Amino acid sequence: DIQMTQSPSSLSASVGDRVTITCRASQGISTYLNWFQQKPGKAPKLLIYAASSLQSGVPSRFSGSGSGTDFTLTISSLQPEDFATYYCQQSFSTPQTFGQGTKVEIK
């Protein structure tokens, strides 16, 4: 299985901050990388697919980059509704696997 490792596991930030979350794959996955946002008690919501494509309806302050083994999710200006847990997920090979999550908390 391909292991997905996110860093940091949690972070504290203020509204308006630029936030960067990193995801590393245990082997090369090209750009078969998706990002999800999950709020407590809710299903994950797709933000970014194919490493850098913004899902329809998702604010443009979210962006993704990377290829191979190293990927980044960036929130350019953190908003109150962005406090949540973020997961990366690889769809390069079966079984599809997720990172352990990064919790973004209010500073």
Partner 1 sequence: QVQLQESGPGLVKPSETLSLTCTVSGGSIGTYYWSWIRQPPGKGLEWIGYVYYTGSTNYNPSLKSRVTISVDTSKTQFSLKLSSVAAADTAVYYCARHRAYCSGGSCYDYFDYWGQGTLVTVSS
Residues found near partner 1 in the complex (CB under 8 A):
1, 30-32, 34, 36, 42-46, 49-50, 53, 55, 87, 89, 91, 94-101
Task: Pick the closer one to partner 1 by CB: 19 or 97.
Answer: 97
Task: Pick the closer one to partner 1 by CB: 75 or 88.
Answer: 88
Cβ contact 55:46 at 8 Å: yes
Task: Pick the closer one to partner 1 by CB: 5 or 76.
Answer: 5
CB 14 → partner 1: shortest distance, Å? Answer: 26
